[in-house]
Amino acid sequence: MPLFSVNHLTVYRYRRPVRFGEHQLMFRPRDSYDQRLLDVSLNVDPEPQAVRWTHDVFGNCVAHVRMSEMAQELRFETSIRLDHTPQAVPDFRIDEKALLYPFRYSPDELPDLESTIRRQFDDDGGEVDKWARQFSSGSNAIETGALLMTLCYAIHEGFTYQRRSQHGTQPPLVTLRSRHGSCRDFALLMMEAVRALGFAARFVTGYIYVSSRDGKPNLGGGSTHAWCQVYLPGAGWVEFDPTNGIVGNRDLIRVAVARDPAQAVPLSGSYYGKASDDLGMTVQVNVTTERHVDA
């Protein structure tokens, strides 16, 4: 099992000393059977007045940081270490009733999945819907796993990755029409596409280990990364990273999940001052493997 170390540094700079409102951070990975948190630390400069932890509606860990001191620079540095069990090939042990698409979620699961099945963005002309349905047309039934993998690879191979520094996520229609976007844009497009087909999907934010494979590294490194999960009866929430064409959790470190990308912002907060005081921010993320441990 790889042992991953993640160092995440965010620096805000201002023209003059400003006062800060509360900041919220999502950086603590979700403990699970395939990733086990070993160590975590948070360093803030200037020294925070208080740090408190909560779980949000999705069970994500959120750190709430309050500062009393004014400053021209605000730094957040987080470090984590965790054991990670990669799934290089997805384990599609889907319930028999869901092996072929279309299928129905069970009455027991449906009430809890409804909010993640519901479309969240406008698609007035049905463009996202039509684009998604092309992968399931031509037959009465198609293997569920093959359908989702094909859709994931279609984004990976047919769209151009473009890192964006702007806040927020592109509407899926913009990504579909322009054929380019960031990792969070591709994740959202896949979510809305599979929702158009009746699947439950949710957004994931976290980190990706960028290693060189035949000279082609994973995209999305150097900052936080984003992908999505699709719920499959019997298999549970399965990872799909359309930016890199990854199915399963290989190289992916989950931090937070949400119905909508706006609910899983890695770091957010406010300052009191003029808009012109803001000189911007820099983000640096390094993910490394320390060693390998025999399973």
Parse the chain into domains and list their residue ranges.
2-84+265-292, 96-263
How far is Cα 2 from Cα 288, in angstroms, rounded to an integer? Answer: 10
pLDDT < 70 regions, the chain: 1, 88-92, 138-139, 165, 212-222, 291-295
- What lies within 8 Å, CB to CB, of 267 at 6+ separation is 10, 23, 24, 25, 26, 27, 76
Q: Selecting from 3.40.50.720, 3.90.45.10, 1.20.1250.20, 3.10.620.30, what CATH number does the domain 96-263 have?
A: 3.10.620.30
Residue 165 has what pLDDT? Answer: 66
Which CATH number applies to 2-84+265-292: 3.40.50.1000, 1.20.58.740, 3.40.640.10, 2.60.40.2250? 2.60.40.2250
Which pLDDT score is estimated for 140? 75
Q: What's residue 87's pLDDT?
A: 72
Residue 126 has a CB neighbour count (10 Å cut-off) of 11
Among 248, 265, 264, 234, residue whose Cα is nearest residue 84: 248
User: Tens digits of per-residue pLDDT, 169-198?
Assistant: 999 999 999 999 999 999 999 999 999 999
| Global confidence as pTM | 0.91
pLDDT, position 2: 83
pLDDT of residue 214: 36
Tokens for 162, please give them: 């473009």
